[in-house]
Amino acid sequence: MPEASRESLRRALRVSRRTVLAGVVAGAALSPLARAAAPLRFGLTPVFLTSDTALLSGLEGYLSRSCGRAVELVQRRTYQEITALLVSEQLDAAWICGFPYVKYREQLRLLAVPAWHGRPLYQSYLIVGRERSAGRVEDLTGDIHAFSDPDSNSGYLATAALLVERQARLDTFFRKHFFTYGHRNVVRAVASGLADSGSVDGYVWEVLQETEPDLAGATRLVHRSDWLGFPPVASSRGLAEAPATGALARALLRMDEDPEGRQVLRLLRLDGFVVPPSGLYDGIAASWRRVSGLT
């Protein structure tokens, strides 16, 4: 081999060796979480109180540490978008609403459910402006009404089922209705007068009474639904037995035992997460059948 060719080969080998060594050093500098395969993708719907940056950061940090791998929080504007990602296994798990869970029960597996005031239950609220004299559901006839999301139990389904019980139709009972795609947005719509009344997650409204009293205080409660299953954390059935899914479920169920986890729970105003009891979402399923004309 000519000397010039040998020298070119030696230079190429030196460059290649430096490249490999640089990659090894860079890899050694990464944390164990960064060296993990892919981050665990955890979806959040607008039922979640997503306006608090400290809360989101704390939740992501706690779950990443407890699961032993990076956790990525995935947010979308609508329930449908998160549910589609979950069912298609593009998310490892998601904190969804009881209504999408009921609709896709055959494709989903429950992992955990929050406990609020000692129980995994919450209610849907009908709210109006603070100064309004309405005191009954019937007083909302002819309103411009704000819903949260068409796939929300507390922000849509519970009210639709309530009207069916009263032999009323949604499109005739209300003069007009629209979707705000967020429970806080429902409260804002009613507080500002954009809507005459609204359907909202009772947990969210109660938390806003503490965190944003001026906003929540501009509205008042007219009607509470029956107690229903709190929005759960679920995975697709195909990923239910995956190690990452199991790690996430354990992290949630043990959150109240960990100082960092308890801080996140304090921000959420939740007691912790529990194993979902049997039949927890039967009431929501009954509402869906009622609205669908199946009962």
User: Can you say whether residue 67 is alpha, beta or left, with left for phi > 0 and alpha for psi between -120 and 50 degrees?
Assistant: alpha
Tell me the pLDDT of the chain averaged across its residues: 87
User: Can you say whether residue 167 is alpha, beta or left, with left for phi > 0 and alpha for psi between -120 and 50 degrees?
Assistant: left
pLDDT at res. 49: 60
Q: What are phi and psi of 115, to 5 degrees?
A: -105, 125
Separation of CA 36 from chain center:
25
Same fold, 35-116+231-279 and 124-225: yes
How far is 206 from 201, CA to CA, in rounded Å? 9
pLDDT at res. 293: 84
Of 19-33, 56-70, 172-186, 235-249, the poorest mean pLDDT is in 19-33
Averaged over 129-152, what is the pLDDT?
Answer: 95
Q: Residues 79-131: pLDDT tens digits?
A: 999 999 999 999 999 999 999 999 999 999 999 999 999 999 999 999 999 99
Q: Residues 163-217: pLDDT tens digits?
A: 999 999 998 999 999 999 999 999 999 999 999 999 999 999 999 999 999 999 9
CATH code for the structural domain at 124-225: 3.40.190.10
Identify the residue whose tokens are 């990076």: 70
pLDDT at res. 6: 41
Domain definitions of the chain by residue range: 35-116+231-279, 124-225
How far is 20 from 29, CA to CA, in rounded Å? 14
Domain 35-116+231-279: CATH superfamily, name plus number: Periplasmic binding protein-like II (3.40.190.10)
pLDDT at res. 294: 62
Which is it for strands 144-147 and 197-201: parallel, antiparallel or unpaired? Answer: parallel
How far is 222 from 107, CA to CA, in rounded Å? 36
